[in-house]
């Protein structure tokens, strides 16, 4: 074989005529392939974005917060691992009740993995439930008004996490439900909670209780008593599966509030009402 | 004894298969699979972090760590093993022995690449098996803990919780997740093989391949700027165009982060991505052949 006759060690040699031809051929092949795949890749990228892929915004602000190495790893396709590292760090901070640092880390974790429902839910839960409870019990702050203010601020931070989570995950019911829980339990905004439960209920994979919860919350919303009553009656007529203590309790309240004629009222057995201790 | 001479064919799958299996055997002898021990230790070690977390967090961390490690190991394996193929064959003079026989150079390259792809396949399958075993073990642990701590709970409610644990452990989308890790590694094996055909040393090959990895993850940004932004200057546009045209768009193969976060990839979209990965592998192999065909050995 002729190649064997010219055995020379592989070194950096200047390109000869054949070398240039070879280089040009390969460069042309790669550029041609690049031109062919360009529209394909552009379209595929759009399709992935429509399917909620690659939504993380890796910008300079995030780089400053997670450091050069973390940012490089995130760019290199290891966003989940970097996010997990920060999440473990936040967990350690939780045991030390360092709420400010936790908030900083949660912001980074959710920026890295915006499609991870658990990160949004847990971040919101820590802020709206744990940090807010710590704020109201903060013995370093003697003034109740300031403690209440801090508590309310943490409620709003929790709500903000869930609203941003919904912006990134509008195709899943979970965060609507979590937002409704915060609105109901912490901010006592029952009208808004009813709307969010209602949105969650529209998803085909949402649990059946979302519809129920939306009706319950609507019954607490001033000015919507009639709509709530009609919805609760509709639920009642679905059968015994829906005959739960809260349903009876809210029906009883609305029947009295709306002055529903006795002949039209649903008879509510006393033993079906929630027990109050 | 049949004295009929065997007719030499231009293309022989048998010859390619012989080169591929030999390549695989050589890599086995190099004990490249020792990295699986590190992978197994990583899975066991990551459990130490999980004690204080709830079950959703435990599964999330286990999946992230396992799939992230699979992604790193297969990529490293594809780059390191491929970068050493040609230099080692030249050093051992195996290359001359093979090419002295009537083996076309493209068959040699295909055989070598196939050997690497088989190695990556075996590695991916073994790592997947370890991952599934770890995930199943964690699932059983969580279920037994749930049953232990839920005394007095209505049976229907307990069943619902157990069902929740099971559905958050194994999801169908883990299959395309693992498949895309393999496809990305295969693409990189072909790219590294191409680089090694003109590289002066295996260190150069590895350096260029690693650089391609990071540039490839930014290629999409370069393409968007090139096609979308009119404010950049002509030199910058030429630079962006070259990056967009020459380097692969690796973000398209970076689905693991989103899939473990709960995203499911549509089957058709996954099919298109897999086909694109196959096309990349073929084109890089073709480019490698153009360089290698007239290379002075």
Contact A71/A58 with Cβ under 8 angstroms?
A: yes
Q: What is the DSSP string of chain B?
A: ---PPPPP-S--HHHHHHHHHHHHHHHHHTTGGGHHHHHHHHHHHHHGGGTTS-HHHHHHHHHHHHHHHHHHHHHHHHHHHHHHHHHHHHHHTHHHHHHHSS--HHHHHHHHHHHHHHHHHHHHHHHHHHHHHHHHHHHHHHHHHHHHH-TT--HHHHHHHHHHHHHHH--TTHHHHHHHHHHHHHHHHHHHHHHHHH-SSHHHHHHHHHHHHHHHHHHHHHHHHHHH-SSS-HHHHHHHHHHHHHS--GGGG--HHHHHTT----HHHHHHHHHHHHHHHHHHHHHHHHHHHT---
CB proximity A267 to B under 8 Å? no
CB proximity A83 to B under 8 Å? yes
Contact A230/A264 with Cβ under 8 angstroms?
A: no
Average pLDDT, stretch A208-213?
A: 91
Of B213, B244, B276, the CB nearest to A34: B244
Q: Residue A66 domain-assigned?
A: yes
Q: How does residue A272 score in pLDDT terms, banded at 50, 70 and 90?
A: low
DSSP A215: H
Choice among A259-268, B123-132, B284-293 with the minimum mean pLDDT: A259-268
Average pLDDT, stretch B158-184?
A: 86
Is 50 exceeded by the pLDDT of residue A5?
A: no
pLDDT of residue A276: 55
Contact A34/B244 with Cβ under 8 angstroms?
A: yes
How far is residue B254's CA from residue B71's CA, in Å, rounded to a whole number?
10
Is 70 exceeded by the pLDDT of residue A3?
A: no
Contact B67/B131 with Cβ under 8 angstroms?
A: yes
Contact A195/A165 with Cβ under 8 angstroms?
A: no
Q: Residue A107 domain-assigned?
A: yes
CA B169 to chain centre: 23
CB proximity A146 to B under 8 Å? no
Q: How does residue A6 score in pLDDT terms, banded at 50, 70 and 90?
A: very low
* Selection from B92-106, B139-153, B178-192 with the highest mean pLDDT: B178-192
Q: Residue A99 domain-assigned?
A: yes
Is A41's CB within 8 Å of B287's CB? no
Nearest Cα residue to A75 out of B185, B245, B260, B221: B221
pLDDT of residue B2: 55
Is B214's CB within 8 Å of A31's CB? no
Average pLDDT, stretch B132-161?
A: 83
How far is residue B278's CA from residue B117's CA, in Å, rounded to a whole number?
12
DSSP A203: S
Of B52, B223, B250, the CB nearest to A77: B250
Choice among A130-139, A219-228, B29-38, B123-132 with the minimum mean pLDDT: B29-38
How far is residue A184's CA from residue B33's CA, in Å, rounded to a whole number?
55
Per CB-CB distance under 8 Å, the chain B contacts of A12 are 200
In percent, the amount of chain B with pLDDT more than 90 equals: 40
Quick one: CA torsion of B201, B205, B211, B216, rounded to 10 degrees? 160
Is 80 exceeded by the pLDDT of residue B148?
A: yes
Q: Is B74 left (phi over 0), alpha (psi -120 to 50) or beta?
A: alpha
Is A52's CB within 8 Å of B223's CB? no
Which of A83, A84, A113, A170 should be substituted to probe chain B, the one whose Cβ sees the most B Cβ atoms within 10 Å?
A: A84
* Selection from A31-40, A56-65, B131-140, B233-242 with the highest mean pLDDT: A31-40
Tell me how crowded residue A268 is: count the other CB atoms within 10 A of its CB: 16
Is B245's CB within 8 Å of A79's CB? no
CA B174 to chain centre: 15
Average pLDDT, stretch B43-72?
A: 83
Q: Residue A86 domain-assigned?
A: yes
Contact A273/A249 with Cβ under 8 angstroms?
A: yes
Is A80's CB within 8 Å of B252's CB? no
Per-residue tokens: A212: 């129920």
Q: How far is A36 from chain B (nearest CA, A)?
A: 9
Q: Residue A132 domain-assigned?
A: no
Q: Residue A106 domain-assigned?
A: yes
The pairs formed by B28-35 with CB atoms below 8 angstroms and a separation of 24 or more are B32/B77, B32/B81, B32/B119, B33/B123, B33/B126, B35/B73, B35/B76, B35/B77, B35/B123
Choice among A145-159, B109-123, B211-225 with the minimum mean pLDDT: B211-225
CA A272 to chain centre: 36
pLDDT of residue B6: 64
How far is residue B260's CA from residue B56's CA, in Å, rounded to a whole number?
12
Backbone phi, then psi, for B266, in 5-degree steps?
-60, 140
Total of domains in chain A? 1
Q: How far is B250 from chain A (nearest CA, A)?
A: 9
pTM of the model: 0.84
Q: Which domain holds residue A64?
A: 57-113
Query: Average model confidence (pLDDT) for chain A?
Result: 87
Is A30's CB within 8 Å of B246's CB? yes
* Selection from A251-260, B36-45, B154-163 with the highest mean pLDDT: A251-260
Q: How does residue A12 score in pLDDT terms, banded at 50, 70 and 90?
A: very low
pLDDT of residue B4: 65
Per-residue tokens: B271: 């099919």
Give me the count of residues in chain A: 277
User: Which ipTM value was assigned to this complex?
Assistant: 0.84
Give me the count of residues in chain B: 297
Q: Residue A191 domain-assigned?
A: no
- Residues 167-226 of chain A with CB under 8 A from chain B are 172
Q: How does residue A10 score in pLDDT terms, banded at 50, 70 and 90?
A: very low
Nearest Cα residue to B289 out of B30, B52, B11, B39: B11
Q: Residue A92 domain-assigned?
A: yes
């Amino acid at each position: 074989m002729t190649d064997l006759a010219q055995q020379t060690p592989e070194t950096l040699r200047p390109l000869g005529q054949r070398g240039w031809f070879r280089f040009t051929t390969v460069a042309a092949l790669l550029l041609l392939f690049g031109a062919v795949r360009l529209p394909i890749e552009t379209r595929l990228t759009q399709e992935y974005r429509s399917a909620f892929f690659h939504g993380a915004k890796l910008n300079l602000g995030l780089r400053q917060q997670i450091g050069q190495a973390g940012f490089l790893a995130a760019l290199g396709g290891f966003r989940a691992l970097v996010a997990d590292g920060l999440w473990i760090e936040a967990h350690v901070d939780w045991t030390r009740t360092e709420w400010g640092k936790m908030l900083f880390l949660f912001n980074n974790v959710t920026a890295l993995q915006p499609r991870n429902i658990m990160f949004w839910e847990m971040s919101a839960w820590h802020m709206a439930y744990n940090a807010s409870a710590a704020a109201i019990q903060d013995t370093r702050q003697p003034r109740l008004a300031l403690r209440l203010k801090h508590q309310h601020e943490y409620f709003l931070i929790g709500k903000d996490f869930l609203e941003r989570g919904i912006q990134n995950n509008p195709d899943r019911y979970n965060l609507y439900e979590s937002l409704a829980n915060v609105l109901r339990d912490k901010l006592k905004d029952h009208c808004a909670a009813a709307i969010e439960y209602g949105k969650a209920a529209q998803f085909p994979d949402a649990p059946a209780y979302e519809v129920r919860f939306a009706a319950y919350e609507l019954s607490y919303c001033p000015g919507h008593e009639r709509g709530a009553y009609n919805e609760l009656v509709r639920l009642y007529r679905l059968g015994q599966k829906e005959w739960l203590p809260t349903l009876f309790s809210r029906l009883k309240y609305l029947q009295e509030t709306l002055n529903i004629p006795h002949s039209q009222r649903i008879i509510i057995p006393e033993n079906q009402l929630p027990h109050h201790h | 004894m049949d004295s009929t001479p065997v007719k030499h064919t231009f293309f022989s799958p048998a010859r390619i298969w012989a080169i591929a299996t030999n390549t695989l055997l050589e890599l086995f002898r190099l004990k490249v699979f020792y990295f699986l021990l590190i992978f197994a230790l990583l899975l066991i070690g990551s459990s130490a972090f999980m004690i204080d977390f709830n079950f959703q967090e435990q599964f999330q961390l286990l999946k992230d760590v396992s799939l992230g490690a699979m992604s790193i190991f297969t990529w490293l394996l594809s780059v390191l093993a491929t970068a050493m193929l040609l230099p080692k064959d030249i050093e051992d003079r195996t290359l001359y022995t093979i090419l002295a026989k009537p083996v076309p150079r493209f068959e040699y390259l295909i055989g070598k690449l196939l050997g690497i792809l088989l190695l990556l396949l075996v590695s991916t399958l073994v790592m997947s098996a370890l991952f599934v075993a770890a995930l199943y073990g964690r699932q059983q642990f969580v279920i037994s803990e749930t049953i232990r701590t839920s005394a007095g709970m209505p049976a229907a409610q307990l069943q619902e919780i157990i069902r929740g644990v099971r559905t958050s452990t194994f999801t169908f989308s883990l299959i395309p997740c693992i498949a895309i890790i393999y496809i990305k590694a295969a693409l990189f094996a072909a790219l590294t093989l191409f680089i090694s055909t003109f590289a002066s040393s295996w260190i150069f090959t590895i350096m260029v391949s690693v650089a391609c990895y990071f540039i490839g993850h930014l290629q999409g940004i370069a393409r968007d700027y090139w096609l979308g932004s009119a404010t950049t200057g002509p030199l910058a546009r030429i630079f962006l165009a070259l990056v967009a045209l020459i380097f692969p768009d690796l973000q398209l193969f970076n689905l693991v982060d989103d899939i473990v976060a709960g995203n499911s990839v549509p089957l058709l979209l996954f099919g298109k991505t897999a086909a694109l990965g196959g096309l990349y592998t073929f084109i890089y192999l073709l480019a490698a052949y153009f360089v290698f065909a007239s290379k002075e050995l």
